[in-house]
């Protein structure tokens, strides 16, 4: 496993081509996933280890990616902390009871929370056994600020106005909540690693809504805390979506092995900001997967050239969308696999 491309790229070792995987690669663009979706509701799929294993393996077997990523959801953490989370069809996540006050924060369950996610660790063990060292397995969690967004807002949002107002107007409560989420997340990720995860990724999907000043208050300290705690066990990928302004600081001051970047920053700028000192992951726009396979191949090769093939993991800038043809997803992966350093 140590010789695997993904792990070599994360360690900054020379590779003949970059490794490739896709965020949300186990999902709605695959017919086999849709068949399971018809039979089982979302949290049944997440909480049944055999189903989570089957879904995790689908893109490895069908698309040929260089890494598996655990099929789960970032909102299992609020569930484990005692909040109800529903997934409403065509609307997304919904939390009937939100966190608004000191009393709400005090009522959250912390000490046994990660233990309650035993079904995740059971799934990881099944996946590792089924993979049989073909590719590494990536575990993951949502970043504390992103989890706070859902816990305070109670649902998905384009701007998370209530969550940001909560942070600004109630900073003491916000930091208390963020600290509790961080504690549970570190415990949760450590247990994922103990179960067999080879790498962990922390998704800060909504940190780009913050100004640089607010990012430094409400996102940065907790991302660094998680990376520092986990990096002694496995490589850590931090993905602060939209927070391009934080790349230089995180490259220098966190113990992350890699930083994920979205398509709103050029590879050249991302490299310049990080000084070539850290592996970068990204940043193909999923909308471009609707181009022809030949066009995808051309753009993927240009992306690799722009990032440089070393210290680089080819990926999308965010999750693959459900309407992408499977052949186009495969074309993306194959374009990376056929790339050779000149």
State the number of CA atoms in the 13 A half-sphere of 282 facing the CB: 28
Cβ(296)–Cβ(288) below 8 Å: yes
User: Could you tell me the CA-to-CA distances from 80 to 93, 142, 157, 179 in Å, in that order?
Assistant: 15, 13, 22, 15
What is the C-alpha to C-alpha distance for residues 25 and 36, in angstroms, rounded to an integer? 15
Share of the chain above pLDDT 70, in %: 99
Inter-residue contact 150 to 79 (CB < 8 Å):
no
Average pLDDT, stretch 6-33? 97
Res. 91: pLDDT tops 90: no
Q: How far is CA 94 from CA 50, 86, 151, 177, 185, in A?
A: 26, 5, 9, 19, 20
pLDDT digits (tens, 9 = 90+) for 224-257: 999 999 999 999 999 999 999 999 999 999 999 9
CATH of 5-338, one of 1.10.10.10, 3.30.540.10, 3.20.20.210, 3.30.70.20: 3.20.20.210
pLDDT attached to residue 340: 87
**For helices 161-169 and 171-195, what crossing angle results, to 10°?**
120
Span 190-230, pLDDT tens digits: 999 999 999 999 999 999 999 999 999 999 999 999 999 99
Distance (Å, whole) CA 337 – CA 342: 14
Residue 1 has pLDDT above 70, yes or no: no
pLDDT one-digit tens code per residue, 106-129: 999 999 999 999 999 999 999 999
pLDDT of 147-177, one tens digit each?
999 999 999 999 999 999 999 999 999 999 9
Averaged over 286-306, what is the pLDDT? 98
pLDDT for position 89: 76
Catalytic residues: 24, 28, 37, 73, 150
> Exposure string (b/e) for 72-90, b if CB count within 10 Å is 16 or more?
bbbbbbbbbbebebeeeee
Residue recorded with tokens 């990536």: 138
Binding residues: 24-28, 43, 73, 150, 205, 318
The confidence score (pLDDT) of residue 16 equals 94
Binding-site positions for substrate: 24-28, 43, 73, 150, 205, 318
> Residue 335 above 90 pLDDT?
yes
Contacts of 264 (CB under 8 A, 6+ apart): 242, 244, 317
Residue 132 near residue 126 (C-beta atoms within 8 A): no
* pLDDT tens figures, 59-70: 999 999 999 999
Which band of pLDDT confidence, cut at 50, 70 and 90, is reported for residue 90? confident
**pLDDT, tens digit, 9 for 90 and up, residues 20-36:** 999 999 999 999 999 99
Other residues' Cβ atoms within 10 Å of the Cβ of residue 166 = 23
pLDDT at 279: 98
Rounded mean pLDDT of the chain?
97
Contact 245, 215 (CB under 8 A): yes
Q: Which residue has the tokens 């893109």?
A: 59
Global model pTM greater than 0.85: yes
């Amino acid at each position: 496993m140590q010789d695997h491309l993904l792990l070599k790229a994360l360690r900054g070792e020379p590779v003949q081509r970059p490794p490739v995987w896709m965020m949300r690669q186990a999902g709605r663009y695959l017919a086999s996933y849709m068949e399971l979706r018809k039979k089982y509701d979302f949290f049944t799929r997440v909480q049944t280890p055999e189903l989570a294993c089957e879904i995790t393996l689908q893109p490895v077997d069908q698309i040929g990616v260089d890494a598996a990523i655990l099929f789960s959801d970032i909102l299992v953490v609020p569930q484990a902390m005692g909040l109800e989370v529903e997934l409403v069809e065509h609307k997304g996540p919904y939390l009937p009871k939100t966190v608004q006050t000191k009393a709400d924060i005090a009522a959250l369950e912390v000490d046994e929370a990660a233990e309650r996610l035993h079904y995740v660790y059971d799934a990881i063990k099944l996946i590792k056994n089924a993979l049989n060292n073909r590719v590494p397995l990536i575990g993951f969690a949502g970043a504390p600020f992103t989890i706070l967004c859902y816990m305070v807002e109670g649902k998905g949002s384009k701007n998370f106005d209530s969550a940001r107002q909560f942070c600004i107007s109630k900073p003491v409560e916000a930091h208390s909540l963020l600290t509790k989420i961080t504690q549970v997340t570190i415990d949760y990720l450590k247990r994922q690693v103990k179960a067999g995860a080879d790498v962990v990724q922390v998704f800060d999907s909504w940190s780009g809504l913050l100004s640089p000043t607010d990012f430094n208050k409400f996102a940065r300290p907790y991302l660094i805390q998680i990376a520092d705690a986990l990096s002694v066990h496995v490589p850590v990928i931090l993905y602060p979506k939209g927070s391009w302004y934080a790349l230089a600081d995180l490259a220098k001051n966190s113990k992350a092995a890699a930083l994920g970047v979205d398509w709103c920053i050029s590879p050249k700028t991302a490299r310049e900001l990080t000084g070539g000192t850290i592996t970068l992951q990204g940043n193909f726009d999923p909308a471009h997967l609707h181009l022809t396979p030949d066009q995808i191949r051309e753009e993927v090769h240009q992306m690799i050239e722009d990032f440089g093939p070393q210290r680089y993991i080819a990926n999308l800038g965010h999750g693959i969308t459900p309407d992408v043809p499977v052949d186009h997803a495969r074309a993306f992966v194959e374009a990376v696999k056929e790339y050779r350093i000149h």
